[in-house]
Amino acid sequence: MGAPPECRAHFARHHSATDPRTQIPPEGLLPYSPKRARPYLYSAKEIRSLLRAALSLPARGGLRPWTYHCLFGLLSVTGLRLGEACNLELQDVDLRTGVLTIRSGKFGKSRLIPIHRSTRRVLADYLTRRNRRWARRPVSPYVFISNWGNQLDRGEIHRTFYALSRQIGLRGPSDSHGPRIHDLRHRFAGMTLLRWYRSGEDVERKLPFLSAYLGHVHVSDTYWYLSAWPELMREAMSRLERCWEGQS
Active site residue 182: yes
Known catalytic membership, residue 106: yes
Residues in Cβ contact with 88 at an 8 Å cutoff, skipping those fewer than 6 apart: 100, 102, 142, 143, 144
Query: What's the CA gap between 137 and 125, in Å, rounded?
Result: 20
Which DSSP category does 142 fall into?
B
- The three-class DSSP label of residue 137 is coil
E strands in the chain: 93-94, 99-102, 111-114
185 annotated active-site: yes
Confirm whether 81 is a catalytic residue. Answer: yes
Which entry of 13, 52, 60, 106 is annotated as an active-site residue?
106
Is 225 marked active-site?
yes
Q: Quick one: DSSP state of residue 22?
A: P
* Active-site annotation holder among 10, 69, 81, 187: 81
- CA–CA distance, 226 with 197 (Å, rounded to integer): 11
Q: How far apart are CA 146 and CA 133, in angstroms?
A: 12
The number of residues making up the chain comes to 248
For residue 133, give the amino acid letter: R
Say which of 10, 185, 186, 187 is annotated catalytic: 185
Residue of 182, 195, 234, 242 marked catalytic: 182
Hey, which residues are catalytic here? 81, 106, 182, 185, 216, 225
